[in-house]
Structure formats: C-alpha cells, structure tokens
Structure 1
Amino acid sequence: MFVNDCLNVNEKGHLTIGGCDTLELAKEFGTPLYVMDEATIRNTCKSYVNSIKTHYDGKGLPMYASKALSCKALVQLADSENMGLDVVSGGEIYTAMKANFPPEKIQFHGNNKTEAELRMALDYNIGKIIVDNLYELELLNKIAGEKNKVVKISMRIKPGIDAHTHNFIMTGQIDSKFGFALETGEAMAAVKESLKLGNVDLTELHCHIGSQIFDIDPFVKAAEVMMDFIGQIKRETGHLVTELNLGGGYGIKYTENDNPVPYDNYMAAVSKAVKAKAAENDIPVPFIYMEPGRSVVGEAGITLYTVGGRKEIPNVRTYVSVDGGMTDNIRYALYESEYTVVNAGKADQKPNEKVTVAGKCCESGDLIQKDTPVADVQVGDILAVLSTGAYNYSMASNYNRNPRPAIVMVKDGKARLIVKRESYDDLVANDLDL
C-alpha cells in the first residue's frame, strides 16, 4: 500500500511506523517531526554486510555515508551493524568521535578540506583521507610530516561515467568539482606525484558517479574503468593499489514510479566485473568499499506536519500550508524532488483530491510537493511525507529563524528522542548584542 515497508494502517485508519501511531507521535513530540524506523535501518545495513559476504567473500566494508543523516545515534547504529563511516567535514568527524565510532573505520571526503580539518583528522587517527586535488595532497603530506606520520590515502577519480540522474547529483563525469579526471591524464599524474611523497601511502582508489541511480550498468562500467586504471598504475609505476571504493548512489523509492534495484543484484554484478578485470589485468582482487547513505536511511524516515491553512484558487490549484517547509526539506526547491504524501489520520482512505503542500517560509518556492494526490485535507490534519530519512534533517536550516525539528526513532511500538527540537534560545545562543 505504501512505498515504505515500515508503514501500515491501524484499526483507527491512522498511519503507523514501526508500530507507532503517527498521530500519537505528533501529539507527544510536536510537529514538524522526523520519524525514523530503527528496524528498517538495521535490516538495510545487514543486507549490505551480507551481500559482501555472499558475492565478495567478505573482503569488503560498506561505509555509511553520514552526510545523508549525521547524528550520534545513527553513527552508533551504523557501528553496531558492522558498517564503516564516510564523513565529509570536521563536524561529521566530531560527531563520529563523540559517538565513539572507531576512527580506523572512517574515511574522510571533501573537495576543499581545510588545514584545520586535515589536522583534526590526523589527530583523531582517521583511517583514510580521500584526496581530491594536488594542493590537498601536498598539504596533507606536509601536515603528516610535521606529525611524523604516514597517512593512508585514497584518490578520488572521475571515471567519465554518465549516471543518468539529476545534474546536481551527478559526480562521475569530467565536468565535476570532485576528483581527478582519467581521460585527461590528470589522475595518473596525481598518482605518480603521490608516490614521490614520503608521508602519504596510496592504498585505494575511489569513485562516485552520482546519486539516486536505478540502473546497474553505470556501476559496472565504473568498476571496470577503475580496475583497468589500477592495472595501468601497476604497469606504469610498479605500485599496487590494493583497495577500491566504488562510492554509493543506489536509488530508493520515493513514489510508486521508482524502481530501485535490489542491492544484492548490484553487488553480484559489480563483484563479477571486478573479479573479471582483476584477472584481465593480472592483479589481485582488491578489498572493496561502497558508500550507501540515502539507501540506508531514506525509506526508513518520514516527516510529520500539521496543516495550518487551506487555500482554494478556482481553476488553478489548492494550497494546504503546513508548519514546516524548505527549512526541514529543501529538496523540492532544489531538485523538484517527488515525494508521496499521506493524510496520516485518513491513511485507510484513497486520495480524492490534488493539493500543493506549501511550507510556512516567506518564499514563493517554499513547497514540499506540488499537485499531489491525498485524501481530504483539512486544517488540523497531520500530513506524512514519506521517504524523508535522507538529506532532510542534514540539509535543514534556520531560515526565517525557524528552529529545526526533532528526530524520533521508533521500534516495536516504542518511540524515543534521538535529536532534540531546537528552541528559540538555541536560535540566539551565538548572537551577540550590539
């Protein structure tokens, strides 16, 4: 009935998640409210770990891409499910350290890591730095030398693969701010430069072709290109890269029109390609990493809103205004992302009208979803927007001085707060008087 397996309808006709009545959650914790289903997240993590065991002889590690949703509880959950961690900022490193995540299982990404962030990463003994440019490579080598360390590095490579996704989330093509381009020779030049330096150790190559991808072929092609490059490095320099990180980007179900590929199918195809290319290039099969983020938490999350107004414009559209908006979900404003919207108190009813769900910000583009089918929306109703676990809280802002919502984790009919709702005092905590 719903795009998310963790959702159901109870005897009252109310939407439930993880066995919890969403109207009761809204009443207890307030709205807007992010709700995450713990069992869904854990089961997804297990599927990644088990797929590596099945198709890759266990010689790999799935890394939770914490930019999708970073908070202490999620980081701790990922650790408990034997996941590694992909971080992209000093703030994400700090969150991981405060959550007692093993630093050796963390990889640090980013196209413009500051010197302070690199020093922080080395001080915390972060497992690997994904180098994005030559300036960073030289700076990292300098800092490592000052600290008498040899730092394991990966290099982010642009494999030149078209991922067939939104332009804003395509990252593997040559025209991207990320990484070293293969086809220009930039990547090989960077590899050779790294091999001259005494305080970095190139053990891994990394690529990431984009996000919300439903086709296996681009992942397979990326794996083949990267394996050929590892072979080329061995032939030209004698250096063997022993690890391969193929990034993330696996699509999830936002609406009934989305058809994500089961991860096991992806891993089977990619493993076959990696092993074949290893034989072809006469190199060992590398230890493999991948970086699921959206696919770990996306479908596990929903957002609850209270309807505060309804405005019907004859022969145009009907607007219903909610108590959140682009401050807690900016993805429609950025990408015109599609979502499924459910009237949580009438979840047993079929949609009978189309409405545009508008946020409360002073911004015409503040929409959650445009002309979306929903059941009879009235002021005071609770609307649930589905599949909001990824890139909603993590992209939230305080625009118009709105406090960011709380996050609740649910399991077996019980709910607990994992991120507190911001208060007005929080909003002015860093303000200084004139």
Structure 2
Amino acid sequence: MTDVADSPSVRRLSAWDAAELQTLVDEYGSPLYVLDLERVRQNYRRLAAAFPDADILYAVKANALGDALAALHEEGAGLECASAGEVQRALEAGASGSEVHYTAVNPPARDLDWIVDAWHDNPELTVTVGSEDTIDRLADRGYDGRLCLRVNPGIGAGHHEKVQTGAAAKFGVPAERAVDVLEDAADRGFDVVGIHSHVGSGVSSDQLDSHREFVARMGDLAREVSEALRASDSRTGSEATREASEAVGPLEFVDVGGGFGVPYREDEAPLDLASVADATREALGEIDARLTIEPGRYFVADAGVLLTDVNTVKAARDTTVVGVDAGMTTLIRPAMYDAYHPIRNLTADLDADERETIPQTVAGPICESGDVFCADRELPATERGDVLAIGNAGAYGYEMANQYNSRPRPASVVLEDGDARLARRRETVDDVTQPEREAHNGSETDRKTDDHPAVSDTDNQRVR
C-alpha cells in the first residue's frame, strides 16, 4: 500500500494504465465505472494529515458504492448522509450510529420515519436539521436525540451556481436566528450537539477567500452560542428558559462542510491542502467545540474513470462527431453543469501507429442535443471500436446516473490490492421495467419505498 507521502496530490487521467483499463472493458463490458480504492484511501490520508485536529466525515452523496464507504470507514472517516437510503448504506458498511450524521434537507416523511426507527437501535446517530419545521416533525415522531442545526451564513462558493449552497435559501436556518432555534430545541428536550453549514461543492483555489469568510462566520456563530450560555444566569425569564440556554452549550462540534475542489482540467493545479487547513483554523478562531469537515468529491473524484466504447464516427459540417455508448444517463455532469472532464483514447495510446490529432465532439446515444461530453476537443483521430476513458468520474458519476430513454445503468468495478472485482452489476431493461410489472401484477411494493416505512399520517399525508 502506497504511503500518502509517496502518492501524487492529484491523479491525472494520463496516469491510469491503458492496458489494464482495456482489459476491464473486455471482461466487464461498456459503459463501465472503475474506482481505485487504494487511491480513495490515499486521498483520505492526505486530507487527514492536513486536518489532524478535525473530525472527518465522508459526504456519501459523492459516491455511495458500498466498497467506497467501507474503505473510508476503515480509514477512520465518519459518514455524512443526505437521505435515509444513504444512512442505511452507511450502517451496512459497518459504521456505528455515533459515526453517522443524517443531514436532512426538506426530508420526505418516509425518510424521517425510517431515521427515527433506526435511531432507536442507534441512539448515538446525529440528525442535522435545516428548518424549525423539521424539528417539529421529529418531535411528533418521538425523536429527542442528538440534534445539529444547519445554518445559512449568507455566503456561497463552488464550481457552478447550482451547487453553491451556503447562501441559497433552501439550505439552513438564517444564521441570525440560530441561537433562538437552538434554545427552543433544547427547551423541548433535544440533545443539541452542533451547528453545521456547507459553502458549496468544488471550491477552487480562487474561491478560498469566500471559503475563509464563510468559516469565519461559523466561528462567530459558535462563539455567540457560547456567549448565550455564559449570559444565561443574568437573563430574565423563567428557569426553563435559563436551563434551555445552558443546554445549548458547549457545542460538541462546528461542522463547516466540505467542498474541497479537485482539478478537472489537465493544467489546473491541485489545492494546497496545508494552506487550506491553516486558513480554515485561522478563520474559525478559538471555539469551545471540535472542528468537523465533510468532504466528498476530494476522496473519490480522481479515483474513478468511466470507460466507453466508440460505436459511430461521423464527419459533420464543422466537427467530427464521435458517438459512444455512454451518455448523459451515465455521466450527467457535462450536460447539467457544463462540467469539463478529461478524455483519453485508450486504443490510440496502445496503437503502434501514431494518430493525427483533430478536433472532435464526443456525444452519447441520448436524444438530446446536450448529450455531449466535449465539443471540438483535440484528440487522436478516433475509430469505431476504440475505447475512451473519461477522467475524474469517481464523484457524482454513477450517483447521478439515471434511466432516461429506458437505458439501464452501467456496471461498476473496483480495484484493490492489484485485483479487479465487480462491485455493482450492469442493469438490464428488465430491471428498468420491473416496477411496472409488479404494479400490473397487483404488488403492494408501490405503497412503500424499498424497506422504508410507508408515509406517516404525522405529516397529514396519505399513501395513494
């Protein structure tokens, strides 16, 4: 196993072994996701070395593959989950309740029902809420366990406006109302343990000023909460109000989210993690709580590639169109965020004859003009039957895959200790249509979501 000091701070697409990837396509088919678990572990160790004084949670939404969760948990990461399904995956990967945070954003009733049931068996589970409504809904279900409040500090950053969460009204309670909300929650019997916020996803080096300002606001809020504790004895009001103020602090942790970006373009430099860590600690200042961070992309992005077969090469008016069997249903980031992913022709790299480099548009099979991975990019002249590798596909790749056009989702392979193994089988059209057949056959599964309980009447909803 490679020591973190000997591993590169970023793994470029050119560093992957072309022959090994070609062999994987030959064995497992295309499209195919590949995730290198050793690289995932290296990325964790690098970040843990930069933040030795912080608790590190992995943001499961980046890549929820069970093998990835198990590897990161073995390295020492806790698991931050955005849904009940992710919590179930985290527990199945071996995490205990004390290592799992459920961060609810307008949580569906089914999720809350399942979470409260899971809490009874895992009382150290932490639930992070972003609204007073969610606190009410938890109380209605009998939950009075560990509660963290997500706050909105009014500042965001990230690689695209759609992922800049820190200032978006959807996320969190306005920071100026946080102390009041915490006091009320404590007064109602909740075990208030922390505050949380997340500036956005894919924060780059040129956005570190925004990140620093965001962290500073979280530090200010943490000290405000502590001040509320110290001032509780001199406050007027009932004894219950004073006890509520005391119950708010000291907080166990201040969670400043993740968002650490990775370089997708070949000429981009990686983040200087030591500088980021120093700036984070300096901006946070002295607090009577533990710093918590929850990266996702940083651990898995450059540990994954997507392999795809070329099925069509067409000379168009202004470009050469290279048709592949992966599309926006397989990797939606280019279509959704106009995201750049490096592309490499593995077959050309293995070809003894050097190919001319020409501008090419790599497009998928989906009936949408936005279904392209790149436009007019300089690549070795592509031929039908070639295999392309799309880099930095380990984060938000398979997790955002879908079945549009009734296309089954791809298979996933993991690399570990020099071996490859199938981690997730390829879907079939039968998998896509199975729910319809079950409904037509009178199955009751349409009244439930997997193994999660049916919708509770607590939220005045009815199952239809």
Match of 1:306 in 2: 309
Deviation at 1:201, TM superposition (A): 1.5
Counterpart code for 1:135: D
Structure 2 matches for 1:271-420, cutoff 5 A? 271-274=281-284, 277-278=285-286, 283-284=287-288, 286-314=289-317, 316-347=318-349, 352-411=357-416, 413-420=418-425
- Which residue matches 1:247? 257
Match of 1:204?
194
**1:190 corresponds to:** 181
Q: What's the counterpart of residue 62 of structure 2?
A: 68
CA shift for structure 1 position 6: 6.7
Q: In structure 2, the residue corresponding to 1:346 is in which secondary structure?
A: helix
Task: Please name the residue that 1:12 is paired with.
Answer: none
Identity %: 29
Q: 1: distance between equivalents of 2:9 and 2:379?
A: 14
- Report the AA paired with residue 62 of structure 1: I
- Give the 3 Å change call, closer, same or farther, for CA 350–36 of structure 1 in structure 2: farther
Q: Are the structure 2 counterparts of residues 7 and 410 from structure 1 closer, same or farther at C-alpha, using a change threshold of 3 Å?
A: farther
Distance 1:79 1:399 in 2: 33
TM-score w.r.t. length of structure 2:
0.82
2:270 is paired with a residue of what secondary structure? Answer: coil
Secondary structure (helix, strand or coil) at the match of 2:430 reads helix
Q: Distance in 2 between matches of 1:429 and 1:258?
A: 44
Distance 1:204 1:30, change over 3 A: same
Query: Structure 2 vs 1, CA of residues 140 and 380 (structure 1 numbering), >3 Å: closer, same or farther?
Result: same
By how many angstroms is 1:383 displaced?
Answer: 0.6
For 2:225, the equivalent position in structure 1 comes to 233
Query: 1:90-101 counterparts in 2 under 5 A?
Result: 90-101=84-95
- Quote the offset at 1:213 in angstroms: 0.8
CA contact (8 A) 1:75 1:99 kept: yes
CA distance in 1, matches of 2:376, 2:95: 43
Are the equivalent residues in 2 in contact too, given 1:156–1:179 (CA < 8 A)?
Answer: yes
2:17 aligned partner: 16
Contact map agreement 1:3 1:255 (CA 8 A) in 2: no
Q: Distance between the aligned counterparts of 2:335 and 2:417, measured in 1? A: 34
Letter of the 2:260 partner, please give it.
Y
Report the AA paired with residue 133 of structure 1.
S
Q: Structure 1's 6 and 254: CA in aligned 2 closer, same or farther, altered over 3 A?
A: closer
The one-letter code of the counterpart of 1:102 is: S
Alpha carbons of structure 1 residues 351 and 114: separation in structure 2 relative to 1, 3 Å: farther
Unaligned runs of 5+ in 2: 1-7, 231-248, 442-464
Q: In 2 relative to 1, CA 272–367 (structure 1 residues): closer, same or farther, beyond 3 Å?
A: same
TM-superposed deviation, 1:93: 1.4
Work out whether 1:86 is the aligned partner of 2:84.
no
Is the counterpart of residue 44 in structure 1 residue 43 in structure 2?
yes
1:121-132 to 2 correspondence within 5 Å? 121-124=115-118, 125=122, 127-132=125-130
8 Å contact from structure 2 (residues 158, 199) kept in 1: no
Q: Deviations over 1:332-380 (max 9, x none)?
A: 1111101111001123768711111111112221112222221111111
- Whose helix fraction is larger, Structure 1's or Structure 2's? 2
> Following the alignment from structure 1 to structure 2, what is the Cα–Cα distance between the partners of residues 344 and 252?
23
| Cα pair distance change 1:376/1:321, threshold 3 Å | same
Corresponding residue number in structure 1 for 2:173? 180
TM-score (norm 1): 0.88
Larger Rg: 2
Q: Is the 8 A contact 2:158 2:201 kept in 1?
A: no
1:140 matched to 2:101: no
Deviations 1:91-130 (A, max 9, x none): 1112222223222101011311133322322332262111
Q: 1:157 to 1:117 in 2, by over 3 A?
A: same
Match for residue 163 of structure 1?
A: 157
Runs (4+) of structure 1 exceeding 6 A deviation are none
Q: Which runs of 5+ in 1 are unaligned?
A: 10-14
Deviates more, 1:298-307 or 1:231-240: 231-240
How far does residue 41 in structure 1 lie from its aligned partner after superposition?
0.3
Question: Judging changes above 3 Å, is the alpha-carbon distance between structure 1 residues 8 and 339 closer, same or farther for their aligned structure 2 residues?
Answer: closer
Q: Structure 1: which amino acid aligns with 2:199?
A: I
1:30 corresponds in structure 2 to 29
| Total equivalences in the alignment | 405
